[in-house]
Amino acid sequence: MAIEKIGVIGAGQMGNGIAHVFALAGYDVLLNDISRDALDKAVSLIDRNMERQVSRDKITADEKNAAMARITTTLNLTDLGQSDLVIEAATERETVKQAIFEDLLPHLKPETILTSNTSSISITRLASRTDRPEKFMGFHFMNPVPVMQLVELIRGIATDQATYTALHDVVEKLGKTAASAEDFPAFIVNRILMPMINEAVYTLYEGVGSVKSIDESLKLGANHPMGPLELADFIGLDTCLAIMNVLHDGLADTKYRPCPLLTKYVEAGWLGRKTGRGFYDYRGETPVPTR
């Protein structure tokens, strides 16, 4: 099946980036969210991000205008029914994702491929709640989507080869690189990355180092572009905690126990950049460590 029309569910950090790269690659994109304000902000952000690409000679003004013209928005989930490929990029909660697929299923074409951008939840389990587990896959983009080269492709136990091949071809058309991961908690990137971030939080919690010293140590001592606590703020501490809980519950190993300090920050609503405070306070001109 030729994949031309893309439905993206969720206009947040990941959804708007996914819409951006698909539109630039020549696909027609229908972006859905439950909030008109979220959709308007997403389109405005995509426009600004593409304008930045124009200013850096990554794309031409004509390419930007053509891509923006390929993006439409809707508050009505059922409008995505005619898509060839649906990418769910809603909040990282399994019950939310299941409810979205349940509402969408009656309106889909029989050949539509369903995917989730989940960073940790079982693809096999999500697929089992749909009418097409053989046409369901994990399609995990990295943040920020327009910049990051990797896409994790995760097959559920029932995913057929045609679906995998179709999505692999899509990744190539986007100009990105596919990495195949087995359907185990957090897949490859977050299986390795999140315990590192969690360990950095433990290092802070136990007083081994301050926020500044921990981040500087990894940037200058391990050549990481961002320190682990800075990166956690960028990802969102609620997302980090959710993934650690998936790892802890799914693998039943105490080495994945979320640090109590991470839980405390999330309970406080200090989720990182998106709320103005996390391990750093972003409300002034420059970020200031909160511990």
Active site positions, annotated? 119, 140, 152, 190
Q: Is 267 exposed, middle or buried (0-12, 13-18, 19+ CB in 10 A)?
A: exposed
Residue bearing tokens 């630039």:
24
Radius of gyration over every alpha carbon of the chain, rounded to an integer in angstroms: 19
Residue bearing tokens 């999505």:
167
Q: Which two tokens stand for residue 160?
A: 């057929």
Report the DSSP pairing between strands 177-181 and 150-155.
parallel
CA atoms of 70 and 29, how far apart (whole Å): 6
- Before 144, cis peptide (omega within 30)? yes
CA atoms of 85 and 264, how far apart (whole Å): 38
Binding positions for NAD(+) are 10-15, 33, 92, 97, 119, 143, 274
Provide the Cα torsion 137, 123, 88, 270; round to 10°: -140
Other CB atoms within 10 A of residue 95 CB:
8
> Is the distance from CB of 87 to CB of 6 less than 8 angstroms?
yes
DSSP H/E element including 93: none
CA atoms of 243 and 258, how far apart (whole Å): 9
